[in-house]
Amino acid sequence: MPATNVGWAVAAVIFFWPLAFAAFTHSSNVIRLWLSGDHIAAEDASRRAKTLGKVALAIWAVLTVAVIVFYAVMISTALSSASSYSYY
């Protein structure tokens, strides 16, 4: 039986919750599909749950880097404009 990849579904909840609904659905279907004899669908559901968890992690990483870059640009802009400000 393939892994349910519920850990990746939990990662989707933590890092990008909109994908968690689909990840948990696929994860919970793995055992049911395997026991009903649909082994290909069970493996596909397992793979999809894992993929959705990885996508959620990647989206979180990209958004985190974007926020850090945004703050760095805003701080550097504020500092450069403050140094050119005349007090007279």
Task: Determine, yes or no, domain membership for 34.
Answer: yes
4: enclosing H helix or E strand: none
Q: In which region does residue 37 sit, left (phi positive, over 0), alpha (psi from -120 to 50) or beta (all else)?
A: left
CA distance 7 to 27: 9
Task: Determine, yes or no, domain membership for 24.
Answer: yes
Task: Determine, yes or no, domain membership for 45.
Answer: yes
Token reading at 88: 């007279």
CA distance 41 to 30: 8
User: The pTM is what?
Assistant: 0.82
Question: Which range of residues forms the domain containing residue 76?
Answer: 6-83
Task: Determine, yes or no, domain membership for 73.
Answer: yes
Task: Determine, yes or no, domain membership for 1.
Answer: no
pLDDT band at residue 86, thresholds of 50, 70 and 90? low
Calculate the average pLDDT of the chain.
93
17 pLDDT exceeds 90? Answer: yes
Task: Determine, yes or no, domain membership for 25.
Answer: yes
44 pLDDT exceeds 80? Answer: yes
% of residues, the chain, pLDDT over 70: 93
How many domains does the chain divide into? 1
The pLDDT of residue 81 = 81
Angle between helices 20-35 and 6-15 (to 10 degrees): 170
